[in-house]
């Protein structure tokens, strides 16, 4: 099972709030997950991110990969 570290959306319409979870890469965005390691609130100024670093490092050591959100610089060319 290939696992990913990604965001799971919770909250009402227009009141988004995200949990940082470990999930199978084939699972739906808000579907089944293995563990919750933190949360992210983009509505605060500045955005609030809380992650259990110990759990995150343990999952990275087990082979979990962070998802590519598409942010950052575009590819060259």
DSSP string, 26-69: TS-TTS--SEEEEEEETTSSSPEEEE-HHHHHHHHHTT-EE---
Entry pTM: 0.79
The pLDDT of residue 29 is 77
- pLDDT confidence tier of residue 75, bands split at 50, 70 and 90: low
Question: What's the confidence (pLDDT) of residue 49?
Answer: 92
* Residue 55 pLDDT grade (very low, low, confident, very high; cuts 50, 70, 90): very high
Distance CA(33)–CA(6), nearest Å, equals 10
Lowest mean pLDDT among 11-15, 29-33, 54-58: 29-33
- Could you tell me the two tokens for 34? 């293995």
């Amino acid at each position: 099972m290939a696992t990913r570290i990604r965001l799971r959306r919770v909250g009402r319409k227009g009141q988004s709030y995200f949990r940082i979870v470990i999930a199978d890469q084939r699972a739906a965005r808000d579907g089944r997950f293995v563990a919750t390691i933190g949360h992210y609130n983009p509505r605060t100024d500045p955005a609030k991110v809380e992650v259990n670093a110990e759990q995150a490092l343990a999952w990275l050591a087990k082979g979990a990969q962070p998802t590519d959100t598409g942010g950052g610089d575009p590819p060259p060319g």
